[in-house]
A and B are shown apart, each in its own frame.
Chain A
């Protein structure tokens, strides 16, 4: 059936089963592949996008439930926190394989939007759902602190 979604500020209409995951609608129907498939069970965070600014797992979010919601993906993030996060990620060379990093950046951006000066405990709580098998965690932590400083500057 025809479903209308608001993604990255644009209204997009797609022909999809309302019970299909947002992840596959983004990737396969809309060709926005920055949001990644990692586990399919909301256990790794690679598919993290924002719904009304909150981080959600798009592999466990169904397109039929998204009427009226504002979805933001890695392709569409901007604003102070996102800019600072992406700059910090580049400055510290955070990514290795990089496959999880869209989700990490979405989660970190959501954290800093809510909590501009996060503690290490805040970071643990906000980022524990995002797996990085290259274990770039130490740099992600540093980059979040760096992004926080950049936002203040």
Chain B
């Protein structure tokens, strides 16, 4: 998702000024006074060791503060693993909580602001959280040494117990208060990999117990403080529409409805509980002004995208005179691809809660970019940054949906709180609940896109030139991220996984064109790779066929300088039995793709049902994500990533008819279900490289692996998704 932030930030860390500029755009030009709070200081609590990333309590619990939102990807467990390992805590005593919003302490070191995305959580935290654990351990040991009057070097810590040969021993909790008086070591000594006790092993998730008993106060949807009001918002059914007039007479008459208020993006129904808020909203009579709204159908928008791919665009990569190279080729293979809008469809619909008393505000939500949410709340409410507190709660999925450049759920709930105050209502906590229809028809989709490919071949079927034109709405152009993230006027986010391919094409040019539409678009699990991997990996399969070569062998020849990709491809092929024929009635396809620093190869094995539809039977994946921190979680993320991507290519699309969204719930946007799910094997490459992402990289290869398996049976590559369009589902 937010990995796009990495590239510019590696070159130039954001200054306060660039971030101010970025935030300012999120609230329509408002200049935000961004007063960052002081960095949290080590504090001596009552018998407690309080450090920014870890608290050790007198009751012997060790709480790891996750600066990242855990939305299912297992980050809280990963960060806990890092701290627990260096601290030598026992797994039974560790737990995790979300950290407060504080960009000076909890910034994603790859973003410069506090936020989660781009599969960066482990990559940016690996050293930081280990150092936090090691520092806490050093403080515990120093405290024990003083207390016991023994040299620190003679003290050992293991499984949460501090010991000395004299027979003295104590728990971490026993020593927490004394340790808090010790100096925090600037550069604590870290373990060497052979000393790790948790890293590289698979200890259970820290959140699994709560998630199997329906524990309260886990998700924002479950946040129910005393006096809570619940609101629904009627937003324009067409993107970009505004309220012309409304009549709330009938809505206000519904028992339980407290008020109906206009806010800048719609009409909010505020009620004592959720059901009246949902019911009463249906009774609102609203006339919308669609003069600035998107009123086209998605078909018309796709026609425009296809046209755009036939025209020269913004140069993303230009190796040379591609048209001359194509002209001089023995022959040219052409292909046009089109992919639809996709909704994220996280299980927990969007939601956010706030309590605003006129001077201070507290928010509760699955905040994915806390620093933006924090600044937007501060700006909308007109109160200083330090008067806003963000409580990050566990999120019921995101897949990118909760990482908005415009912080629109926070903006909306803050606007509602302001409207309530203006209406003379007493301060009360209020939560906006999105229904499934609100969530799905509310935009922020994976952009629809068109792709035009022309590949030149010589007499021996070697590639001479690869020309790739893509058109889509840019996720970052025109948003507050543009100033930071578009480099030389190019959105590399749209073309990642293609312009940077390691396939050895002698000449490759790539152009991009941006569609203008009011339909908001957003990163969707693996972002640009969702479309580029499909195009590149199905095209390479075609090129292998043209060259009369095996798809795996052809790829290996073409990625000789990419040893880690070679490795995962070989491993997946070996484990899938690529060299042996597929079982009767089954067909195999392969794809290998790098994203977010990680390499994944997948072999899909499919069969056809009697009615000709595709059943994906089995997927064998090989992954190299650097040092594996929790192998079982890596497997879980790859399993889930495959399922998520598979559901989309099988039958998911969001279409518009005259600007109105046609798929608004799981009846028409039919998610992948149990009976669709293939058997999955995940093989992890042993590695000492720095850890890289795993939340997203499992997703990109599955689409092309399945398409290539279909092509193995039918000699035809599907170029228009989802597969329902070709009658294959």
| B124 in the interface (beta carbon within 8 A) | no
Q: A123-B674, A131-B347, A139-B636 are in contact. Are A34 and B219 (CB under 8 A)?
A: no
Q: A43-B667, A127-B674, A138-B680 are in contact. Are A34 and B216 (CB under 8 A)?
A: yes
**Shortest Cβ distance from B437 into A: residue:** A40
Which 7 A-B pairs rank lowest in CB-CB distance, beginning with the nearest? A34-B214, A135-B643, A99-B396, A97-B72, A98-B211, A74-B214, A96-B72
| A28 in the interface (beta carbon within 8 A) | yes
Q: How far is the CA of A45 from the CA of B657 in the complex (A)?
A: 29
Residue contacts A-B, CB under 8 angstroms, 6 given: A95-B205, A97-B71, A98-B218, A105-B212, A133-B671, A135-B640
Q: A93-B208, A132-B347, A137-B677 are in contact. Are A33 and B216 (CB under 8 A)?
A: yes
| A3 in the interface (beta carbon within 8 A) | no
Partner of B72, one of A21, A40, A75, A98: A98
Q: How far is the CA of A96 from the CA of B218 in the complex (A)?
A: 13
What residues on A are CB-neighbors of B215 within 8 Å?
Answer: 34
**Shortest Cβ distance from B72 into A: residue:** A97
A68-95 toward B: CB 8 Å interface, digit per residue (1/0)? 0000011100000000001001100111
Q: Are B208 and A28 in contact (CB under 8 A)?
A: no
Question: By CB atoms of chain A within 10 A, which of B71, B436, B667 has the most?
Answer: B436
Q: Are A133 and B221 in contact (CB under 8 A)?
A: no
Partner of A36, one of B255, B347, B399: B347
Q: A95-B208, A133-B345, A135-B647 are in contact. Are A36 and B221 (CB under 8 A)?
A: yes
| B286 in the interface (beta carbon within 8 A) | no
Partner of B348, one of A43, A74, A99: A99
| A60 in the interface (beta carbon within 8 A) | no
| A58 in the interface (beta carbon within 8 A) | no
A110-132 toward B: CB 8 Å interface, digit per residue (1/0)? 00000000000001100111111
What residues on B are CB-neighbors of A95 within 8 Å?
Answer: 72, 205, 207-208, 211-212
CB distance from B229 to the nearest CB of A (A): 11
CB distance from A57 to the nearest CB of B (A): 12
Q: How far is the CA of A125 from the CA of B222 in the complex (A)?
A: 30
CB distance from A100 to the nearest CB of B (A): 5
Residues of chain B from 62 to 82 with CB closer than 8 A to chain A in the complex:
71-74
| B213 in the interface (beta carbon within 8 A) | yes
Q: Are A90 and B212 in contact (CB under 8 A)?
A: yes
What residues on A are CB-neighbors of B674 within 8 Å?
Answer: 123-124, 127-128, 130, 137, 140-141
Q: Are A24 and B394 in contact (CB under 8 A)?
A: no
What residues on A are CB-neighbors of B671 within 8 Å?
Answer: 44, 131, 133
Q: Are A97 and B639 in contact (CB under 8 A)?
A: no
Q: How far is the CA of A37 from the CA of B230 in the complex (A)?
A: 14
A24-40 toward B: CB 8 Å interface, digit per residue (1/0)? 10011101111111111
What residues on B are CB-neighbors of A94 within 8 Å?
Answer: 208, 212
CB distance from A130 to the nearest CB of B (A): 7
Q: How far is the CA of A54 from the CA of B219 in the complex (A)?
A: 27
What residues on A are CB-neighbors of B209 within 8 Å?
Answer: 90
| B672 in the interface (beta carbon within 8 A) | yes
What residues on B are CB-neighbors of A29 within 8 Å?
Answer: 273
**Shortest Cβ distance from B395 into A: residue:** A97
Q: Are B348 and A97 in contact (CB under 8 A)?
A: yes
Given A37-B221, A99-B348, 11 more contacts at CB 8 Å?
A35-B214, A37-B274, A38-B347, A40-B437, A44-B347, A95-B208, A97-B348, A135-B647, A135-B672, A136-B636, A136-B639
CB distance from A37 to the nearest CB of B (A): 6
What residues on B are CB-neighbors of A20 within 8 Å?
Answer: 275
Q: Are B208 and A89 in contact (CB under 8 A)?
A: yes
Residues of chain B from 266 to 290 with CB closer than 8 A to chain A in the complex:
273-275, 278
What residues on B are CB-neighbors of A130 within 8 Å?
Answer: 674
**Shortest Cβ distance from A124 into B: residue:** B675
Q: How far is the CA of A123 from the CA of B209 in the complex (A)?
A: 23
Q: Are B214 and A133 in contact (CB under 8 A)?
A: no
What residues on B are CB-neighbors of A129 within 8 Å?
Answer: 673
CB distance from A124 to the nearest CB of B (A): 4
CB distance from A45 to the nearest CB of B (A): 10
Q: How far is the CA of A46 from the CA of B345 in the complex (A)?
A: 13
What residues on B are CB-neighbors of A102 within 8 Å?
Answer: 214
Q: Are B394 and A138 in contact (CB under 8 A)?
A: no
B387-399 toward A: CB 8 Å interface, digit per residue (1/0)? 0000000111111
Q: A44-B666, A134-B640 are in contact. Are A101 and B212 (CB under 8 A)?
A: yes
